[in-house]
């Protein structure tokens, strides 16, 4: 035994749901953009706080601090990656991935590599975890910025 | 200084890996480690939840023979799990061309005074 049910007139609702998903994605992207900006600023503050010393090779078994040139190479280089969208999910990352190369004391060095060496340290350079510190300090403010922007956006569209 | 961090330092110093806190005055030959309290803060995300007091530390191990890698990793990760629960992660692995050393870095962020 079977019963067949048919509902008609779903086109309007379907269009409405599609529009809603598009708006939700736009709102999420706008929120993420603002949140990522907040996070990038916090990390940039960390870059400004990096302690340096004029470059000299570490003595055998010794350590050296990052040089002013290394700090300068990563200053202003924090960026937000291209957004990855999947339905209402939007992802990005904040970091030095797209920062390219910089001249450090006459040598071309990958900015991300210089940033990583300062943040994580090496066997001959003391670590200064500016990135983790900035990301931790900025997490709450970034989250607040994301929520505020999404709510504003949804308010504007009367979707709340 | 957070008591869990002190326990972490003590446990690492009991291993076969020579460990120093913050930095070595003179780097040892061969394999060695460094443990650092990187920061304590009022607004960190520790244990996957927002909290008002948390600390973050890092554990770095430098070594030159790849054959040592697995043992070093399991030694450090067992201690991190024991002291910090699941609030740690492998943050980076690097190879230093200029010294021929491998460098593995773990970080942990733990709610201060809370259960790890």
What is the number of domains present in chain A? 1
Quick check: is A137 in a domain?
yes
pLDDT at position A133 over 60: yes
In 3D, which of A67, A79, A73 has the Cα closest to residue A33?
Answer: A79
Whole-structure pTM value: 0.82
**CB-CB contact of B103 with B96 (8 Å):** yes
Domain interval for residue A94 = 13-156
Q: Domains (ranges, CATH) in chain B?
A: 3-111 (3.30.2000.10)
What are the residues whose beta carbons fall under 8 Å from the beta carbon of A155, sequence distance 6 or more? none
pLDDT at position B41 over 80: no
Which residues 1-40 of B have a C-beta within 8 angstroms of A?
23-24, 26-27, 34, 36, 38-39
**Alpha-carbon Rg for chain B in angstroms:** 14
Residue B113's pLDDT band (cuts 50, 70, 90): low
Quick check: is A30 in a domain?
yes
Which residue, chain included where needed, has tokens 């598009």? A22
Check residue A17 and give its pLDDT. 77
DSSP A66: P
Check residue B116 and give its pLDDT. 42
Which residues 41-80 of B have a C-beta within 8 angstroms of A?
41, 43-45, 50, 56, 58, 60, 62
Quick check: is A60 in a domain?
yes
Per residue in A86-122, pLDDT (tens digit) is 877 888 999 998 889 999 988 999 999 999 999 999 9
Distances (CA, A) of B27 to A58, A62, A121, B32: 11, 6, 14, 8
Listed in sequence order, the DSSP H helices in A11-59 are: 11-48
Contact list, A132 vs chain B (CB under 8 Å): 38-39, 56, 91, 107
Per residue in A12-52, pLDDT (tens digit) is 777 777 877 888 888 889 999 999 999 999 999 999 999 99
Q: Give the residue-averaged pLDDT of A131-136.
A: 89
Q: Is B94–A121 a contact, with Cβ atoms under 8 angstroms apart?
A: no
Q: Is A129–B38 a contact, with Cβ atoms under 8 angstroms apart?
A: yes
**What torsion do the CA atoms of A32, B110, B40, B73 make, to the nearest 10 degrees?**
-100
Q: What's the complex ipTM?
A: 0.82
Per residue in B61-74, pLDDT (tens digit) is 999 999 999 999 99
Contact list, A62 vs chain B (CB under 8 Å): 26-27
Query: Which chain A residue's Cα is nearest to B22?
Result: A126
């Amino acid at each position: 035994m079977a019963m067949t049910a048919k509902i008609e007139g779903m086109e309007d609702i379907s269009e409405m749901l599609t529009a809603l998903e598009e708006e939700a994605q736009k709102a999420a992207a706008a929120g993420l953009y603002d949140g990522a900006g907040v996070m990038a600023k916090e990390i940039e503050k960390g870059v400004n706080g990096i302690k340096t010393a004029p470059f000299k090779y570490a003595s055998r078994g010794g350590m050296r601090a990052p040089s002013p040139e290394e700090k300068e190479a990563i200053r202003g280089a924090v960026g937000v990656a291209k957004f990855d969208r999947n339905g209402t999910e939007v992802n990005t990352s904040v970091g030095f991935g797209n920062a390219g190369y910089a001249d450090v004391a006459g040598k071309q060095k990958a900015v991300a590599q210089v940033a990583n060496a300062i943040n994580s340290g090496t066997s001959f350079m003391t670590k200064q975890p500016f990135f983790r510190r900035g990301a931790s300090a900025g997490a709450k403010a970034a989250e607040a910025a994301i929520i505020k922007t999404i709510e504003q956006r949804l308010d504007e569209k009367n979707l709340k | 200084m957070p008591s869990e961090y002190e326990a972490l330092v003590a446990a690492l110093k009991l291993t076969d890996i020579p460990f120093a806190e913050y930095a070595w005055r003179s780097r040892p030959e061969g394999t060695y480690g460094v443990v650092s309290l990187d920061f304590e803060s009022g607004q960190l995300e520790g244990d996957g939840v927002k909290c008002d007091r948390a600390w973050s530390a890092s554990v770095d191990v430098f070594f030159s023979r790849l054959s040592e890698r697995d043992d070093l990793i399991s030694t450090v990760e067992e201690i991190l799990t024991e002291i910090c629960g699941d609030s740690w992660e492998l943050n980076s692995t690097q190879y230093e061309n200029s010294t021929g050393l491998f460098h593995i870095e773990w970080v942990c962020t733990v709610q201060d005074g809370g259960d790890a």
